[in-house]
């Protein structure tokens, strides 16, 4: 990717909503955001009465104008910090399984079948289209153990314009013979091949970045973890894995790595617990592990829909946040059933209420907090907070246009196809946003931009 082609100065006018902090959602009813030819935010104006005056003030000549709908707003693109693109066809298929039998029954067979490139292309194309349509502008993807199909996922993201981290799954241990790396060194060679491929299609990682992906400790030999730790140090590339998702998994880690004091310590001892590491799930971390993660500044991807679907457990997000650990949200397709980060935000709010039933009300996550986790928090997890996550001057325009349904007055028939959120007109803006979080879906996502380029639009 080089400089985005064909962009014009564009003013996005109308309401915008974004997180300024964990607890702070700025709702600007009358805004104007200027995006330049590089897809970057050049100005953000509030309380706009005269749009022409704003355009003139910034010396812009005839910019393109995009208006938010009357009952709608611009919102930063969602950041999915944990999603298995290769498992997308299984979204919603998990029966009553739990993690380890789910991997054997549903997941390894599907992932293994993506050695077929035509099949991988079909799956990856639809996964990326679908997540874009839900407003996901950045995704941290797990592909499969196949270098060729993993490269295909990079190509698809670049072609469809989604910002993405692409990881080839490293797994040389405790997986079926028909689906595992034959040795630590072949795993690392194949991973290097995917890194080289991305360097060839997007040398500056403007959209696509490789991410080192040891699947999880039980499926990696100590030798593989060591080599990936070295590669992490050598390349400075980010890294992603799973941690502490369910009890039998923890017991397995203790059995496989008895010399280490904890699950987190396994990653730490192999040079993988660093600021560039994204740890998914983190349901059963001990206080000592939390302290270690905080000390290493590793990040956590909270995957509430998956943790419920596979009955893994309830992550203590409030505790993690109180420790100062950086947290974002993951859909975790297909442990999670939905490709929507909005659904993950809703589930984060609901799971926190289940936690509150035992831990007390302080555990509850607010609408403001779950929206922060889905945008700015996710950007911090992925090391992208200087680029995306909110609407500040200098950041790139990764955004979605949300439209809410207006109920006509006087009992006349309206159009229920505008989406599942009904606005009667008497709601405050805070209430409109809350109704979107708890009831909205992709029908409300009218258009999506990445780096200033429109990558999705409702017909």
Ligand X SMILES: O=c1[nH]c(=O)c2nc[nH]c2[nH]1
Residues that bind ligand X (CB under 6 A): 84, 99, 103, 107, 215-216, 242, 245, 306, 332, 335
The DSSP result for 243-256, as a single string, is: ES-SHHHHHHHHHH
Q: Which is nearer to ligand X, 249 or 396 (CB)?
A: 249
In whole angstroms, the minimum distance from the beta carbon of 400 to ligand X comes to: 26
CA distances, 174 to each of 132, 180, 216, 252, 310 (Å):
34, 8, 11, 11, 20
Q: Which CB, 219 or 352, lies closer to ligand X?
A: 219
Phi then psi for 377, rounded to 5 degrees?
Answer: -60, -45
Instruction: Between 289 and 332, name the residue whose CB sits nearer to ligand X.
Output: 332
Least distance to ligand X, CB of residue 16, Å: 34
- If the CB atoms of residues 137 and 306 are measured against ligand X, the closer one turns out to be 306
Tell me the pairing of strands 399-403 and 445-450: antiparallel
Q: Left, alpha or beta for 101 (phi > 0: left; psi -120 to 50: alpha)?
A: alpha
Both tokens assigned to 66: 């995009």
**Residue 351 backbone zone (phi > 0: left; psi -120 to 50: alpha; other: beta):** alpha
- Region for residue 397 given its phi and psi (left: phi exceeds 0; alpha: psi -120 to 50; beta: otherwise): beta
Using an 8 Å Cβ cutoff, are 55 and 377 in contact?
A: no
In whole angstroms, how far apart are CA 422 and each of 17, 30, 149, 266? 19, 21, 42, 49
CB-nearer residue toward ligand X: 330 or 378:
330
Tell me which residue has its CB nearest to ligand X. Answer: 335
Hey, how many other C-beta atoms are within 10 angstroms of the C-beta on 409? 9
Block residue for tokens 């292309």: 121
Which is nearer to ligand X, 268 or 332 (by Cβ)? Answer: 332
Considering beta carbons, is residue 245 or 343 the nearer one to ligand X? Answer: 245
Burial of 438: CB neighbours in 10 Å, binned 0-12, 13-18, 19+: middle
Q: For residues 307 and 400, which CB has a smaller minimum distance to ligand X in the complex?
A: 307
Smallest separation (angstroms) from ligand X to the CB of 122: 20
CB of 84 to ligand X, least distance (A): 5
Closest CA to 87 of 403, 326, 335: 335
- Give kind and range of the element (H or E) at residue 61: none
**Helix axis angle, 429-439 relative to 341-359, nearest 10°?**
100
Q: Closer CB to ligand X, residue 250 or residue 379?
A: 250
Strands 41-45, 24-35: parallel, antiparallel or unpaired by DSSP? antiparallel
Nearer CB in complex with ligand X: 313/420: 313
Nearest to 342 by CA among 361, 379, 307, 370: 370
Q: How many CB atoms lie within 10 A of CB 283?
A: 19
Instruction: Write down the least CB distance from residue 321 to ligand X, Å.
Output: 22
Q: Residue 456 contacts by C-beta under 8 Å, 6 or more apart in sequence?
A: 129, 132, 133, 445, 447, 448
Least Å distance between CB 78 and ligand X?
19
Peptide bond into 334 cis (omega under 30): yes
The nearer residue to ligand X, 7 or 103, going by C-beta atoms, is 103
Give the Cα separation of 274 and 229 in Å (integer).
10
Minimum CB separation of residue 215 from ligand X in Å reads 5
Nearer to ligand X, 245 or 268 (CB): 245
Tell me the closest approach of the beta carbon of residue 245 to ligand X, in angstroms: 5
Least separation in angstroms between CB 127 and ligand X: 14
């Amino acid at each position: 990717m080089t400089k985005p082609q064909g962009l014009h100065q564009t003013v996005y006018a109308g309401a915008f909503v974004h997180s300024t902090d964990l607890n702070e959602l700025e709702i600007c009813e009358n805004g104007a955001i200027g995006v330049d030819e590089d897809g970057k935010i050049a100005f953000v104006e509030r309380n706009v009465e005269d749009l022409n005056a704003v355009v003139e003030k910034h010396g812009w000549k005839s910019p393109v104008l995009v208006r938010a709908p009357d009952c709608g707003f611009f919102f930063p693109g969602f950041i999915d910090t944990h999603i298995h693109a290769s498992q997308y066809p299984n979204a919603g298929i998990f029966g009553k399984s739990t993690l380890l039998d789910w991997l054997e029954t549903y997941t390894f067979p599907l992932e293994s079948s993506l050695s077929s490139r035509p099949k991988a292309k079909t799956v990856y194309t639809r996964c990326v289209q679908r997540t874009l349509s839900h407003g996901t502008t950045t995704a941290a993807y797990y592909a499969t153990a196949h270098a060729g199909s993993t490269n295909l996922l990079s190509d698809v993201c670049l072609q469809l314009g989604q910002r993405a981290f692409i990881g080839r799954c490293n797994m040389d241990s405790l997986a079926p013979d028909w689906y595992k790396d034959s040795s630590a060194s072949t795993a690392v060679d194949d991973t290097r091949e995917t890194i080289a491929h991305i360097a060839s299609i997007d040398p500056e990682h403007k959209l696509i970045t490789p991410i080192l992906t040891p699947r999880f400790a039980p499926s990696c030999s100590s030798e593989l973890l060591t080599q990936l730790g070295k590669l992490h140090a050598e390349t400075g590339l980010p890294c992603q894995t799973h941690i502490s998702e369910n009890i039998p998994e923890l017991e397995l880690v203790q059995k496989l790595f008895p010399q280490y004091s904890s699950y987190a310590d396994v990653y730490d001892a192999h040079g993988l617990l660093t600021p560039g590491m994204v740890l998914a799930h983190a349901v059963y971390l001990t206080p000592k592990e939390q302290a270690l993660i905080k000390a290493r500044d590793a990040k956590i991807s909270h995957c509430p829909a998956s943790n419920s679907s596979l009955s893994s457990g309830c992550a203590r997000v409030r505790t993690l946040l109180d420790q100062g650990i950086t947290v974002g949200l993951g859909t975790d397709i297909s442990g999670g059933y939905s490709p929507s980060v909005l659904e993950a935000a809703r589930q984060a709010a609901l799971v926190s209420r289940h936690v509150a039933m035992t831990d007390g009300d302080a555990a509850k996550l607010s609408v403001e907090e779950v929206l922060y986790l889905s945008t700015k928090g996710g950007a911090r997890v992925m090391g992208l907070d200087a680029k995306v996550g909110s609407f500040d001057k200098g950041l790139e325009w990764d955004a979605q246009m949300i439209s809410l349904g207006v109920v006509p007055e006087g009992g006349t028939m309206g159009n229920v196809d505008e989406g599942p959120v009904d606005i009667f007109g008497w709601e405050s803006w805070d209430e409109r946003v809350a109704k979107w979080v708890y009831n909205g879906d992709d029908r409300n996502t009218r258009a999506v931009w990445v780096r200033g380029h429109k990558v999705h639009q409702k017909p």
